[in-house]
Amino acid sequence: MRTQVVIIGSGPSGLLLGQLLHNAGIDTIILEQKSKDYVLGRIRAGVLEQGAVALIEEAGAGVRMRHEGLVHDGIEIEFGGERHRIDFKALTGKTVTVYGQTEVTHDLMDVREACGAPTVYEALDVSIHDVESNHPKVRWTKSGQPYEIECDFVAGCDGFHGVSRQTFPADKLHTFERVYPFGWLGVLVDKPPVSDELIYVNHERGFALCSMRSTTRSRYYLQCRLDEHVEEWSDDRFWEELLLRLDSQVAARLQTGPSIEKSIAPLRSFVAEPMRRGRLFLAGDAAHIVPPTGAKGLNLAASDIAYLSRALIGFYKSSSTAGLDSYSQTALARIWKAERFSWWMTQALHTFPESSGFDRKIQKAELEYLFNSRAAQTALAENYVGLPY
Ligand code: RFL
Ligand code: PHB
C-alpha cells in the first residue's frame, strides 16, 4: 500500500487536514484508534474563531455551521457579583461562532465519506517508521491483521496521548508544561442557555462558566478539585453549586434539568518543540495543550492545519519545501501567544488553593483594570477572537 500523506487521528486536526489536502488533489489515509461513534461522543470545544470558521468552509464542511452556528459579538465576565461585558465587535470588528466540536467533527466526517477518502477506524498499535528517510512507513493492526503503508509524509494529529510525539527521540524534543491545581467539571443539558452570550465567573467558591451549544442546549462548567470524581457530583449538587457562584439575576434565569453528559477535565498548559522530525509533522493537541479558559485548543489546531496544509500543497504543486521547513517555527510563534492568553485568562478567573492575600489583591487589581480600561479590553478581545494567521 502507498499514499501521499498518512494522517494519524480523526479529531478536528486530522479531518481538516485530510479535507484540505483532498481538495488539492493529494491522497491521504486517516488512521484512528477509536470507533467513529466514540469519536463523535466526545464533548469538547464550543467556540470557533473566524479563522477556524473560514478554514472549515474552505474544507467544504461549512454548510450546517453557517445555518446553526451562533455568532457572538462579546462575552460577559462576572467578578464580585457584577457582570462586565467585553464587546468584541466594537473593540476589534470581529466575532466568534458558537458551534460544538462534535458538530464540526460530524460535518468533516460526512464530507470525507462523501468524497470517498479512506479512514480506518479502530486501527490499533499504530507505529511510525523511517521518518528521517524520503519513504516513511506506518504500521497498524485491525481486527488482529497487520497492515503497512508507505508514504511521503506523516501528519501526527493524534492528540495529547497519541503515538506521534512519542516517536521523537527524547533529546530531539523539548517540552514545557504547567499543570494547574484544579479541573473543570462540565455538564451538558437540554435547556436554553441562561444568557445570549457566554458568562465567565470569578467567584471565591471557584470559577464557573455558562456556555451553550445551541439555543436549546447549554454547557456549564464549575472549577473543581483534582481529587474529585464525577460520581460525587449528582445533578442536584451541580446545580446547587452553580447557583451559589452566579449573581442573583442570572441565577433566577437558570433553567436546570437532567444532565446528558458530565465529565471532569484537568487543566494544563503544554508545548512540545519542534513540531517536525524529518517527514513527521505534529499538529493540534499532539504538540500543545492549553487550559480551556481562553477557548483556544480547537482554534490552535485549526491554525496549525492552515500552515501545514499550505506547506504540503506548496510541496506537491511547486516542489517547494519552504513551507515545510518553516512550519514548526511559524506555528509555534502563534501557539505561544495563545498559550500566554489561555494562562492569563486562567490565572485571572480561577481561585488558586495556595494563593496568598497578595495574590488575591493582584487578581482583583487585574480585573478592575480590565473593566475600566479600553486598552486592556481590546487586548483580551483581540486574543479571544483570534490572532491573525
Ligand atoms: P483530538 O481531538 O484529541 O483528536 C486526536 C485523535 O487521535 C486519536 N488517536 C489515535 N489514533 C490512532 N492511533 C493512536 N495511537 C492515537 N492516539 C490518539 C484520538 O482517538 C482522537 O480521535 O486532537 P485534535 O484533532 O488536535 O483537536 C484538538 C481539540 O480536540 C482540543 O484542542 C479542544 O477540544 C480543546 N478544547 C477547546 N478548544 C477550543 O478551541 N474552544 C473551546 O471552547 C474548548 N473547550 C476543550 C474545551 C477541551 C476540553 N477537554 C475535555 C479537553 C473544553 C474541554 C472540556
Ligand atoms: C464550551 O462551551 O465548551 C467552552 C466555551 C468556552 C470556553 C471553554 C469551553 O472557554
Q: Where do the domains of the chain lie, and which CATH numbers do they carry? A: 5-72+92-177+268-346 (3.50.50.60), 181-267+361-385 (3.30.9.10)
Provide the whole-model pTM. 0.97
For ligand 2, what atom is nearest to the CA of residue 98? 2
3-state secondary structure of 263: strand
Q: Is the CB of 11 under 6 A from ligand 1?
A: yes
> What pLDDT was estimated at residue 196?
97
The residues, ordered by sequence, that sit 6+ positions from 77 with a Cβ below 8 Å of its Cβ are 83, 84, 86, 199, 200, 201, 202, 349, 367, 370, 371
Q: List the grid coordinates of 305.
A: 492545519
Residue 61 to residue 295: CA distance in whole angstroms:
21
Name the average pLDDT for the chain. Answer: 97
Write out pLDDT tens, residues 96-147: 999 999 999 999 999 999 999 999 999 999 999 999 999 999 999 999 999 9
Whether 370 shows a pLDDT value over 90: the answer reads: yes
Name the phi and psi angles at 244, rounded to 5.
Answer: -70, -25
Q: Whose CA is nearest to atom 3 of ligand 1?
A: 159
- Cα of 29 vs centre of ligand 1, distance in Å, is 19
* Contact assessment for residue 267 and residue 251, using Cβ atoms and an 8 Å cutoff: no
Minimum CA distance residue for ligand 1 atom 48: 44
Distance 21 CA to ligand 2 centre (A): 29
From residue 139, alpha-carbon distances to 5, 127, 143 in Å are 14, 5, 14
* CA-based torsion, 265, 266, 270, 275: positive or negative: negative
Q: Is 94 a residue of the active site? A: no
- Give the total residue count for the chain: 389
pLDDT of residue 44: 86
Residues 118, 101, 42: CA angle, nearest 5 degrees: 80
- Does 121 participate in catalysis according to the annotation? no
pLDDT at 3 over 90: yes
Assess contact for 135 and 280: CB atoms under 8 A. no
Tell me, what's the pLDDT at 237?
Answer: 98
The pLDDT of residue 113 is 97
Predicted local confidence at residue 354, as pLDDT: 87
353 is annotated as an active-site residue = no
Q: Has residue 253 got a pLDDT over 90?
A: yes
Q: Is 384 a catalytic site residue?
A: yes
What pLDDT shows up at residue 43? 84
Closest CA to 277 of 163, 178, 176: 163
Taking the CA of residue 12 as reference, the ligand 1 atom at the shortest distance is 25
Q: What is the CA radius of gyration of the chain?
A: 21
DSSP string, 1-50: -B-SEEEE--SHHHHHHHHHHHHTT--EEEE-SS-HHHHHH-----EE-H
User: Could you report the per-residue pLDDT of 157-194, keeping only the tens digit for each?
Assistant: 999 999 999 999 999 999 999 999 999 999 999 999 99
Marked catalytic residue, from 180, 291, 292, 327: 292
> For the residues 27-46, what does the mean pLDDT come to?
94
Comparing CA positions, the residue from 251, 102, 255 lying closest to residue 193 is 255
Atom number in ligand 2 closest to CA 295:
10
Quick one: which H or E segment has residue 255?
A: none
Residue 151: which pLDDT band, with cuts at 50, 70 and 90? very high
Question: 389 catalytic, yes or no?
Answer: no
pLDDT at 240: 98
Most ligand 1 atoms within 8 A of CB, residue of 34, 158, 270 to mutate = 158
Percent of the chain scored above 70 by pLDDT?
100
Q: What is the pLDDT of residues 37-74, one digit of tens each?
A: 999 988 888 899 999 999 999 999 999 999 999 999 99
How far is residue 250's CA from residue 341's CA, in Å, rounded to a whole number? 27
Find out whether the beta carbon of 294 lies less than 6 Å from any atom of ligand 1: no
- Residue-wise pLDDT tens digits, 311-322: 999 999 999 999
Q: What pLDDT does residue 364 have?
A: 97
- Whether 47 lines ligand 2, by a CB cut-off of 6 Å, is yes
Tell me the pLDDT tens digit for each residue of 194-229.
999 999 999 999 999 999 999 999 999 999 999 999
Element (H, E) at 294: none
User: Residue 323 C-alpha to ligand 2 middle, in angstroms?
Assistant: 32
Catalytic member of 296, 307, 327, 350: 296
Query: 350 vs 201, 203, 239, 366, CA distance in Å?
Result: 9, 8, 19, 13
Report whether residue 219 contacts ligand 2, using a CB cutoff of 6 Å: yes
Ligand 1 contact, 285 CB (< 6 A): yes
Among the listed residues 72, 203, 288, 350, the single catalytic one is 72
Which pLDDT does position 376 carry in this prediction? 98
Contact between residue 99 and residue 46 where contact means Cβ atoms under 8 Å apart: yes
